[in-house]
Each structure stands twice: as structure tokens, then as C-alpha cells.
Amino acid sequence: MKCLGGVWLLTALLFASCTKQWSQPEGVQVYFSPNGGCTEAVVENLDRATNSVFVQAYSFTSAPIAKALVDASRRGVKVQVILDKSQRTEKYSEADFLRNSGIPTLIDDNHAIAHNKIMIIDKGIILTGSFNFTKSAEEHNAENLLVIRDASLAKEYSNNWDAHATHSEPYQSNLSSEDRPSKKSSSQPSNKPRTRKVPAF
Ligand SMILES: [Zn+2]
């Protein structure tokens, strides 16, 4: 019995040394904000996309991330976006820019809030975490962003994206053109008082 116990111990040690450690998963990177490179990581991954990008976002006010999505779309990548209903009335939302750039942009108002922050790139890379695709999340908030390379997990996220897409509807702004800041004139001084602050998300 003593000998058998030794064999078991040796087997357990060999097994432990051969199995992957959960604390160091391969193909996973993490970024923390404020100013920890979250936006840069999102943009870099979008710039490398070659086939498809599926997005779920709660608040989407990040100009560089929106631009990276439009750039991807223009080089032939299939880009589709689902946003929370708050983006119908969010003054600084990039929803108009995405839709007007030809990206299918949907609103999911089937939930209290559609709080996911997810990108699925080329059916193999998942970007997710607390990090909203916003300037505030990058510069002011404490957030995290995981970049995960795993095709089987990406498939699960894609299935979930599809499920939300089935009960979503095309984005239509509830703001008038006067209320929504123009991309072209955003650098121009305005006499109109701002009645809303940039959200903290
Ligand atoms: Zn949904």
C-alpha cells in the first residue's frame, strides 16, 4: 500500500506539471484603464481584422474605436453592431457615424439595459470586460479589458450575438440633427449651451 501511495503521488505530481496553469492562460491579454491601453488594444485588434467584427456595446462614444470599425468595413470586413437603447438619445453616441458609414447598426431594447461590451473578431478573438467603448472609460474610469484568442469560446459569443440580433431593430436616432453634434463642425465654437454632460460610462 505504501508503494501504491508513492505511485499515486508521483502520478499526481506528473499530471500537475503537465497541465496548463489557470493563472497563466495562453492567448489572453488584459488591459486596465484609466490610460492603460484599452482603446489602443481595441483599435489594434480591429486594424488586424480581415473577415468579420461583431460588436455589442452599452455606450459607444469613442471616436477612435468607431473610426477603426469604419476603416475595417471599408476594407471589406463584415462589421455589425448592436447597441443599447440609450444610444438613441445619447448626444455623443457614434451610432450615427457607424450607420451613416454603412455599418448595420441595431438597437437591442429587449432588456432593462443591454450591458454587454463585446467584440468578436474573425471568429477567433474576443474583446470583453467592463470597458465601454468610450472616452470616459479610457481616461477617467477604472475598467478592465480582456483580449481572448479562442475559437470555441468565440463561437459561443457569436451564438449569443445572433440571439440578441434576432430581437433587435435598426438604429434610428431620437435626437434632432440640431441636438446631435456634427462631426464636421465639432471643432467650431457653438453658442448653444450644452445641457447634457458626457456620460461617465
Ligand atoms: Zn437582447
Q: Which residues fall within 8 angstroms of residue 197, CB to CB, at 6 or more apart?
A: none
- Cell numbers linked to 10: 508521483
Tell me whether residue 69 is in a domain: yes
Tell me whether residue 112 is in a domain: yes
User: What is d(CA 179, CA 183) in angstroms, rounded to the nearest whole number?
Assistant: 13
User: Domain holding 53: CATH number?
Assistant: 3.30.870.10
User: Ligand 1: distance of its center to the CA of 111 in Å?
Assistant: 6
Tell me whether residue 141 is in a domain: yes
User: Ligand 1: distance of its center to the CA of 9 in Å?
Assistant: 49
Q: How confident is the model at residue 173, as a pLDDT?
A: 83
Q: Which residues are known to be catalytic?
A: 115, 117, 122
Tell me whether residue 64 is in a domain: yes
How many folded domains does the chain comprise?
Answer: 1
Tell me whether residue 182 is in a domain: no
- Cell numbers linked to 64: 477612435
Q: How confident is the model at residue 176, as a pLDDT?
A: 74
Once rounded to an integer, what is the mean pLDDT over residues 34-42?
96
Tell me whether residue 96 is in a domain: yes
Report yes or no: 45 and 38 within 8 Å, Cβ to Cβ: no
The pTM assigned to this predicted structure is 0.79
Report yes or no: 49 and 122 within 8 Å, Cβ to Cβ: yes
Give the model confidence (pLDDT) of 57-110 as tens digits. 999 999 999 999 999 999 999 999 999 999 999 999 999 999 999 999 999 999
Closest CA to 53 of 31, 71, 69: 69
Tell me whether residue 11 is in a domain: no
User: Ligand 1: distance of its center to the CA of 104 in Å?
Assistant: 16
User: Ligand 1: distance of its center to the CA of 80 in Å?
Assistant: 15
Burial of 168 (0-12, 13-18, 19+ CB in 10 A): buried
The answer to whether the bond into 189 is cis (omega within 30° of 0) is: no
Domain that includes residue 77, residue range: 26-170
What is the H or E stretch that residue 126 is in? strand 125-129
User: What is d(CA 159, CA 135) in angstroms, rounded to the nearest whole number?
Assistant: 29
Strand partners, 54: 80, 120
Tell me whether residue 143 is in a domain: yes
